[in-house]
Structure 1
Amino acid sequence: MTLSYTTYHNKLRSCFLGKTVGGTLGMPYEGNLDTRAVTFYDPVPTRMVPNDDLDLQVVNLETLLRYGFPVNRRHLGDLWRRHILDFPDEYGVAQHNTLAGLYAPLSGRYNNKFHGGMGAAIRSELWACLAPGDPNLAAALAREDACTDHTEDGIDAAMFLAAVESLAFVERDLAALVHTGMSCISPEGRLYRALQSVLDWWDQSLDTLKIRELILSTYPSDNWTDVSINLAFILLAWLAGEQDFSKAICTAAGLGYDTDCTCATLGAIMGILYPDGIERRWLEPIGEDLVLSDCIVGIHEPNSISSFCEIIASLCPQTLRYYHSFMQLADIPETAQKVSLPAPWSPSPCVIEWDRDSAESLVALSPLAILLQYPSTVALQPNVPGDFTVKLRNSSPSAFDGTLCLRVPLGWKITPSTFSLHIRPLEEVTLPVVITPGPCTKRRPNYNPILFVLERSDGFRWQEEAGLVLTIPWMRKAESSNDWEAIEAAQNFQIVPRGAYHYRTAVKFPSGKGLCRMTVQGTRKLTASLNGTPILSHDGLVYVPAFHRSAPVAAFTMKSGWNILDIAVEDGDAGEIFVGFASIAGCGEWINGCEWSTAPLEVDGV
């Protein structure tokens, strides 16, 4: 199937112009929970408002230019540490996980309460525009990207939008577009159900605001970046927009919540569908300059939206050829910009699959792909064995003969630790291993490497590394008891049983960090003290465990050595608490290097 280059190019450019218009329109209302009537920019801007909706796609494009095909989660995950100095919600969790050696897709799954946020859905357009008319390919590329900082509905949202936007290059029927997008995601997911509900309510001729009420009552969430709510708003505004760009994005802005994202996404969809439908009044105030946020560093971005689109247009036919797509661009002019990519690191257009319910990291890509599957809890308890699986995939055209040696920290055990290998081209082998941490009596180290030492039969030797995480030790006692019990928390979150409880642990911070912030919150009322000084309280009414946009956050100066943290949780139904530490600036970067122990508590008689 062919798509004319002229048609593709017009839709591509309008996609990203619609993205910038929508993002700029919606930015002033971001996070507002109420509705409003919106007709135009307020205030009227003098340039495009920088936004992560476009920032991250510029970074993803540079990653593709740097590494070439196939698009993969390992390369995309690396970019977070190098180019994105922004740490809100799922972005911060993913970066914290990656620094601990937990790579995608585990980086988006472990310790992440924002895995169903909007952060991946907002960067779907690049994948759609590289695979126009091939929604399954677009969704597969989006999945590789989304799993770096999301799982479940967070990944499904990116796949849904990428599929819709891809098909929109060759199809205008809304029902067909939505059906195709929904066919790419899990029908058991909350997102799928929310989208289907909107379609059903619309078919009942319900009022737009009534449908909004039903969305919020049927799919409630304390988090205003919740992807199921916000994609339901996008679909609702699209239905109400009646094929009119202005009406659609203004409706999206009026519905509230994550409006910069919802307006930007719907603006992109409408731009692809109706490339001549964006009125000049929207474009004149913001121009075409490509403006990135200050937190994006080390990137060699083009100067304008048009230049950005020219690069994508050059890579599109290369993408379609490499992935053997049934689509192709026709009548590409000789004057079209030509951008070359590095030679593919895999001769076949492989996508290294994973089970969405597994805790797995893609550790390395070549000359062998190394995948490490963790236990379901991910975190290990001292002296307790954990079952892991090492998967090796040979993506080269030649067989691999050699050995693999696995190494863990001093005092830890891994069995077996050495394997002889003969792996045929495109073959995958599975190696079960058992890892037992040492006693870790003094402290729980924050970084525990597992080394993969591979040696080929010709003597070529290389080493890769991933991380192993330990549980966080706590002491807990019921308010009605004097007896403390030891608790091992697999994450910064832990379940609180019904009743009133007192929690205590000791934490040591990296030296030189100075002033930091802490949040302690949960689904029940609680108070927290550090070294005997009350530091914050939480009413338990709204539970959004973020460092930059939740009320129970306190600034404090780190003390050298061990700090005693006490949390008193009031009586109530079974629930959850969260404890986290971050830098004081911006959205707060998770502090790497915190170590935990209950050994210092012995001096207090606990």
Structure 2
Amino acid sequence: MNPVGTRPNPVSSRTDLADRVLGGWLGRIAGNMLGKPIEQGEVWTRDRIDRYLRRAAALPLTDYLPEPEPAGTGQDLPELRPEWRACVRGRVHGSCRDDDIDYTILGLHLLERHGFGFSTEQVGDLWLLHLPYLQTFPAERAAYRNLAAGLKPPLTATYDNPYQEWIGALIRADIHGWTSPGDPRRAASLARRDAVLSHTGNGVYGAMWAAALIAAAFTAADVRAAIETALTVIPASSRLARTVRRVVTLHETRLPWEETLTTLAEETGGLGWIHTVPNAAVLTAGLLYGDGDFTRTIALTVRGGLDTDSNGATAGSVAGVLTGAEAIPAQWTEPLQDTVRSAVFGFDGVRISELAERTLRLATLPG
């Protein structure tokens, strides 16, 4: 077992790979649940998140979010999302349904059904067959509508879709990383084929980068090495690559986490809270300043604001792969009760351990 906060060795056995894949699933779901109650970046700013936590004596953040103050108090803070009642500490009994997890499940189903030679058209077919339209959001909903109207990729991504560079494709990338351990270029290629159904430009690069980052986490010496490796699969001149490198540089100067995020918020201002680029900045900062510690990584990432549940999910996936499931503290995993709620047809109530086992069957040891 890897102690929390240590840097793991590369995957060396099937048993180790199984632990790291399960760690990815558990980390993704726990990180998603942590960020879900405050997923509204234009309302739940970084300052408001920390004010909420400070009032509840929950800083440093080491568990799921605390319950909100009783009605009639804390009027200067916004309300949590309606799902909070099943996502805050003491109330988590299995995972809530969320699109960040639905797409991961759907990606697993895609690989099981069509293999690694799947086409973008087959991704779209599975959406129509297994994913309810009202459980899709901006770019995915536009692509879904275009699919239903008979359009084919790449028109599904470009026709009447102003959300092409938002974070939706990035949140679909984990399965391609988990099934390509130690092979970030393969992971990125698979993620790209999925992403172009609904995204272009930095939206696609975000998916490629995230898939490569997760694949690299199986063999990298530390999280910084995984981030550097992931940057090699996207154009160096892209805004996403330049922003990620900027976070790495600021971290190298030992600038405090808060000041790094303030700097990046100024430099990515105007893109919106669901755009891939500013969210990749928050995610990268959470990973670097978390430095391999699972709890610190997802806590800093969610406290960074913007698309908190999506960023928390990806950070948890990377950190879970780095440490393995056994090293994830129990306060994150035990309340999940090995159970997932999902809108994907045929998967509601599935066991997390089963999803990990099915993922493991598709993955091969690196090298």
- 1:36-92 Cα offsets, whole Å, 9 max, x none, are 144321222222122111111211222232333412211011122222222321011
Report the equivalent of 1:372: none
Aligned to 1:583: none
Question: Partners of 2:179 and 2:292 in 1: how far apart?
Answer: 24
Structure 2 letter corresponding to 1:48 = S
| CA deviation profile, 1:434-492 (whole Å, cap 9, x unmatched) | xxxxxxxxxxxxxxxxxxxxxxxxxxxxxxxxxxxxxxxxxxxxxxxxxxxxxxxxxxx
Q: Which residue pairs with 2:310 in the alignment?
A: 261
TM-superposed CA distance for 1:302, in Å, is 7.3
Matched with 2:142 is 93
Contact 1:302 1:308 in 2 (8 A): no
The amino acid across from 1:14 in the alignment is G
1:289 match: 339
Deviation of residue 109 (structure 1)?
A: 2.5
Per the normalisation by structure 2, the TM-score is 0.82
**Match of 1:267, as an amino acid?**
G
Contact 2:339 2:349 in 1 (8 A): no
Matched, 1:312 2:365: no
Q: CA deviation at 1:222?
A: 5.1
CA distance in 2, matches of 1:267, 1:309: 15
- What residue in structure 2 maps to residue 221 of structure 1? 270
Structure 2 residue aligned with 1:22, among 31, 50, 61?
A: 31
Deviations 1:132-178 (A, max 9, x none): 11111111011111111111111111111111111111123233211
Match of 1:51 in 2: 98
Residue 159 of structure 2 is aligned to residue 110 of structure 1: yes
Give the structure 1 partner of residue 327 of structure 2: 277
Match of 1:127 in 2: 176
CA separation in 2, counterparts of 1:98 and 1:300? 23
Which has the larger share of helix?
2
Structure 2 residue 14 is matched with structure 1 residue 5? yes
In structure 2, relative to structure 1, the CA distance for the partners of 1:2 and 1:194 (3 Å cut) is closer
1:190 aligned onto 2:199: no
Distance (whole Å) between structure 2 residues aligned to residue 211 and residue 101 of structure 1: 45
* Equivalent residue number for residue 63 of structure 2: 40
Q: Which residue of 1 aligns with 2:70?
A: none
Pairing 1:231–2:280 present:
yes
Q: CA deviation at 1:316?
A: 2.1
Deviations 1:504-532 (A, max 9, x none): xxxxxxxxxxxxxxxxxxxxxxxxxxxxx
Identity of counterpart residues, as a percentage?
29
Q: Secondary structure at the match of 1:49?
A: coil
Q: Distance in 2 between matches of 1:310 and 1:133?
A: 18
Task: State the AA in 2 paired with 1:284.
Answer: E
User: Residue 370 of structure 1 aligns with which residue?
Assistant: none
Instruction: Quickly say closer, same or farther: Cα 1:69–1:301, change in 2 above 3 A.
Output: farther
Amino acid at match of 1:292: S
Q: SS where residue 335 of structure 2 aligns?
A: coil
Which segments of 5 or more consecutive residues in structure 1 lack a partner in the other structure?
321-326, 329-606
For residue 189 of structure 1, report the CA deviation from its aligned partner: 1.5
Q: Where do 4+ consecutive residues of structure 1 move more than 6 Å? A: none
SS in 1 for 2:328: coil
Distance 1:4 1:89, change over 3 A: same
Partner of 2:4: none
Separation of aligned partners in 2, 1:120 and 1:87: 12
Q: Is the 8 A contact 2:251 2:289 kept in 1?
A: no
SS of the counterpart of 2:336? Answer: coil
Structure 1 or 2, whichever has the larger Rg, is 1
Cα-to-partner distance string for 1:367-419 (whole Å, 9 max, x where unaligned): xxxxxxxxxxxxxxxxxxxxxxxxxxxxxxxxxxxxxxxxxxxxxxxxxxxxx
Contact 1:127 1:138 survives alignment (8 Å): yes
State the Cα deviation string for residues 309-340 of structure 1 (Å, max 9, x = none).
Answer: 111111224xx8xxxxxx46xxxxxxxxxxxx
Q: Distance in 2 between matches of 1:260 and 1:135?
A: 24
**TM-fit CA distance, 1:224:** 1.3
Confirm whether residue 148 of structure 1 aligns to residue 157 of structure 2: no
Q: Which has the higher contact order (CA 8 A, sep 6+)?
A: 2
Structure 1 stretch displaced more, 200-209 or 139-148: 200-209
TM-score, normalised to structure 1's length?
A: 0.50
SS at match of 1:103: coil
Query: Which residue of 2 is the match for residue 339 of structure 1?
Result: none
- Structure 2: gaps of 5 or more residues: 1-9, 54-60, 66-87
One-letter amino acid of the counterpart of residue 329, structure 2: E
1:300 CA displacement = 4.7
| Shift in Å, 1:194 | 1.0
Q: Distance in 1 between matches of 2:348 and 2:153?
A: 25
CA distance in 1, matches of 2:347, 2:29: 19
- Write the distance in 2 (CA, Å) between the matches of 1:174 and 1:284: 25
